[in-house]
Amino acid sequence: MTRHDDGHTSRVGIVTGAGTGIGRAAALELLRNGWSIALLGRRIEPLLEVANATEFDGRALALSCDVSDADAVASSFDAAVARFGRLDLLFNNAGVGNPAGPFETWTSDQWRSVVDVNLNGMFFCLQRAFWIMSSQNPRGGRIINNGSLSAWVPRPNSIAYTATKHAVSGLTRCASLDGRAYDIAVGQIDVGNAHSALASQMAQGVPQANGELAAEPLIDVETVGRSVAHMASLPLDANVLFHTIMATKMPFVGRG
């Protein structure tokens, strides 16, 4: 926790991919709940919009960071701890979508561009959070990985995104087990069709397993932000290992 001039103490979190979509919604919800939050993202401008808001009274820190760069991750996480004193939460959220077109036409760089962010970046952030949380006093904390419904069931033409999100579930399970020794709780949120840049095309129509195009319902990202904040609010002796939140009428149950 970090203590402010007025004597108020708040828990400290890092949110990656915090400039837009789910990351931004989660960061805002946590800040409104009294957390101090370091907002990480590639573009600094949208992060500063949140960090400079007077309502958060200096509890938000904007840091430009490419999570696929392990050195940049370490530097940004260390800057957050230097500012706020410790780390109680990582919302491991940064991710990118699938390259366009069928995968047999992709270049190796297109494949790696997804793996570098969605898997390697997720690991680098989780690794640094473990290092900090296991060595601070009092030790421990919580990590919430952003999985996706594609961590369970693929969409057509989504092999890079789906493969990395399946891998995130493996990271979650292993880190949840390994975190027990350090009082680190690790869970995963799997989101179906929240309004974001990655999911905006759902409303216009996306390929289904039967080859048809169909529009799909979406939910507000603020709803997802509240779910992240709920998971973050739990005591460390309780953990939501996997949490699915989705548009009620989306074609996930029974997909395929």
Question: Which residues carry out catalysis?
Answer: 148, 161, 165
Proportion of the chain in helix, strand, coil states, percent, rounded to 5: 45, 20, 35
Opening angle at CA 231, ends 28 and 161, nearest 5: 80
For residue 100, give the 3-state DSSP assignment: coil
Parallel, antiparallel, or unpaired for β 141-146 and 89-92? parallel
Q: What is the CA radius of gyration of the chain?
A: 18
Amino acid at 25: A
Cβ atoms 37, 14 nearer than 8 A: yes
Single out the residue of 91, 81, 88, 159 nearest to residue 125, CA to CA: 91
Could you tell me where the beta strands, DSSP code E, fall in 65-121? 89-92
Distance of CA 162 to the CA centre of its chain: 16
Euclidean distance between CA atoms 44 and 124, whole angstroms = 20
Q: What are phi and psi of 128, to 5 degrees?
A: -65, -40
210: left (phi over 0), alpha (psi -120 to 50) or beta: alpha
Euclidean distance between CA atoms 7 and 205, whole angstroms = 51
Euclidean distance between CA atoms 6 and 186, whole angstroms = 32
